[in-house]
Amino acid sequence: MHPIVSIIVPVYNAEKTLARCVDSILNQTYQDYELLLVNDGSTDSSGGLCDSYAARDSRVRVFHKENAGVSNARNLALAQAKGTYLQFLDSDDWITPEATLSLVRAAEDHQCDLVISDFYRVVGERVSHKGDIDEDSVLTREEYAAHMMENPADFYYGVLWNKLYRREIVEAHHLRMDPEISWCEDFMFNLEYIRHAQRFYALQVPIYYYVKTKGSLVNSQGLSISKTVRMKLTVFEYYQRFFKTVLDEEEYEKSRLKVYRFLVDAAGDGAVPPTILPGSTRLGSERLQVSPDILAGDSPLHDSFRLRKLLDRHLELVALKHDLPLKDTRLLLYLTQIGPSISRKDLADFTNQSRSSVTLSLQRLSARDLVKLDDPRREESRKEAPRKDEPEKKRLLVTFLPAAEPILADLDGALQDVQQELLAGFTKEEAEACSQFNSRIQDNIRKVLS
């Protein structure tokens, strides 16, 4: 059987970073892929490292070739790939554990030809979140091109590694990297691919850590200034032809200045982003981290901790996608599980938070028009003050509003993912037996606590 995803990594003298890159791929929660490592004539130990990974994991395929550049290396891998989808990495970068799963799920849920995702820009020990498209819906070719035109030289659009491609489109039109172009070669491939794709989706979750920093073309590749200028003009001419193809004549005339802006924006020598973007954080604090020592513990408390962290890991993706604090996302999930009416005291107890923290989260969710809050005590006070011998009504009524529907759908998916990971490797009979035993355990806990 063919794998669902072919992950392509060109390798050249990457002995210092290759293990981090490959380990991040092999540790993916999604497992139905092949990894194609192309050793492009490395003179260090990179080739041996590639072979050692192939010896340990049958999904890894290694190709050794004479040095001919990254475009040739990727083309060799494209000719050998078997997957339904194509994913690219550079050997000095790495991906989050759920990267491939997120890309594939977006492609299949929305039946898209191209998925583009946010990424992390890493400089030293600092990391910043980078993205551009905020629309959470399928985009047409024209809509995607319109977004791209607003930031024509943006790395987000130009590179390969924050995207997922359908291999059948690549093969049907024999799309390959141009070895003669060593500036914006990724972008040239993307422009050609976009011409043949129909449906696009932007994933607002950063899944890739970008750390490569390139120097200027003249300095890093030994190109003459005249050849560099000719190369840039070639790329610009192709960019111009692309928009003439995608847009009708009237729309192109309206957008001509934006198209020309690409030449100005790209004149600064390639689309390497600023050294660090605003709002950066220390590397390692951008996502939930778990101490290996605590994970290794063996006690009921450790069991509870691991389950909570596993759930938080999936809730974090929902929070990032919908621009919510993790605390508020967790509260939304709790509200889906306990019904529309609950006291503030019970809600704080159930979420293991203070009442003031719960109240603040509820206020933020209400301000986002995700929930409507009704306090029966207010209704009662409007009618008639309760007698002293009557218990005060303290229950809060929570109604989910339409804006919350996509978030609730993602929360339901997160719960399903957690359940699948808990039962990974179980047979059907083992999973059923586990469910029965867990049900009995929960009954015992209820008896003790009630």
Domain of residue 385, CATH code: 1.10.10.10
Q: Is 36:61 a contact under the CB 8 Å cutoff?
A: yes
Strands 208-210, 395-400: parallel, antiparallel or unpaired by DSSP? Answer: unpaired
Is 134 within the bounds of a domain? yes
Strands 395-400, 163-166: parallel, antiparallel or unpaired by DSSP? Answer: unpaired
Question: Does residue 162 share a domain with residue 307?
Answer: no
**pLDDT of the residue at 180:** 75
Question: Does residue 253 share a domain with residue 303?
Answer: no
Question: Does residue 162 share a domain with residue 62?
Answer: yes
C-alpha span between 258 and 175 (Å, rounded): 26
Question: Does residue 301 share a domain with residue 240?
Answer: no
* Residue 327 structural domain: 288-417
Strands 163-166, 85-88: parallel, antiparallel or unpaired by DSSP? Answer: antiparallel
In 3D space, the residue among 277, 290, 313 whose CA is nearest the CA of residue 126 turns out to be 277
Question: Does residue 388 share a domain with residue 256?
Answer: no
Is 422 within the bounds of a domain? no
In 3D space, the residue among 106, 83, 89, 100 whose CA is nearest the CA of residue 167 turns out to be 83
Question: Does residue 203 share a domain with residue 94?
Answer: yes
Question: Does residue 262 share a domain with residue 399?
Answer: no
State which of 266, 298, 325 marks the end of a domain.
Answer: 266
C-alpha span between 63 and 52 (Å, rounded): 13
Is 218 within the bounds of a domain? yes
Q: Which residue blocks in 281-338 are alpha helix, DSSP H?
A: 292-295, 300-322, 326-338
Question: Does residue 124 share a domain with residue 43?
Answer: yes
Give first-to-last CA distance, the chain, whole Å.
52
Amino acid at site 245: T
- In sequence order, which residues have a C-beta less than 8 Å from that of residue 24 and are 6 or more positions away? 94, 95, 96, 97, 99
**pLDDT of the residue at 357:** 92
Question: Does residue 293 share a domain with residue 328?
Answer: yes
Instruction: Record the tokens describing residue 117, joined without a space.
Output: 């995702």
Phi and psi for 363 in degrees, rounded to 5? -65, -40
Is 165 within the bounds of a domain? yes
Question: Does residue 318 share a domain with residue 259?
Answer: no
**What number of other Cβ atoms are within 10 A of residue 313's Cβ?**
20
Which parts of the chain sit beneath pLDDT 50? Answer: 215-223, 225, 269-274, 379-382, 387, 389-392
Indicate the pTM of the whole model.
Answer: 0.83
- In sequence order, which residues have a C-beta less than 8 Å from that of residue 74 and are 6 or more positions away? 8, 10, 38, 88, 160, 177
Quick one: CA dihedral 215, 186, 160, 80, positive or negative?
A: negative
C-alpha span between 371 and 208 (Å, rounded): 32
Question: Does residue 308 share a domain with residue 258?
Answer: no
State which of 234, 266, 298 marks the end of a domain.
Answer: 266
Radius of gyration of the chain (CA): 26
Is 86 within the bounds of a domain? yes
Strands 60-65, 114-117: parallel, antiparallel or unpaired by DSSP? Answer: unpaired
**pLDDT of the residue at 376:** 58
DSSP state of 272: P
State which of 232, 266, 300 marks the end of a domain.
Answer: 266
Number of domains forming the structure of the chain: 2
- In sequence order, which residues have a C-beta less than 8 Å from that of residue 335 and are 6 or more positions away? 371, 398, 400
| Size of the chain, expressed as the number of residues it contains | 450
Is 352 within the bounds of a domain? yes
Containing 202, the helix (H) or strand (E) segment is strand 199-203
**pLDDT of the residue at 395:** 83
In 3D space, the residue among 436, 427, 440, 424 whose CA is nearest the CA of residue 31 turns out to be 424
Amino acid at site 120: Y
Is 31 within the bounds of a domain? yes
**pLDDT of the residue at 269:** 43
CATH number at residue 85: 3.90.550.10
Please give the biggest Cα pair distance in the chain.
92
**pLDDT of the residue at 149:** 78
**pLDDT of the residue at 238:** 64
In 3D space, the residue among 343, 401, 404 whose CA is nearest the CA of residue 376 turns out to be 343
Question: Does residue 255 share a domain with residue 297?
Answer: no
**What number of other Cβ atoms are within 10 A of residue 301's Cβ?**
10
Is 365 within the bounds of a domain? yes
**pLDDT of the residue at 227:** 54
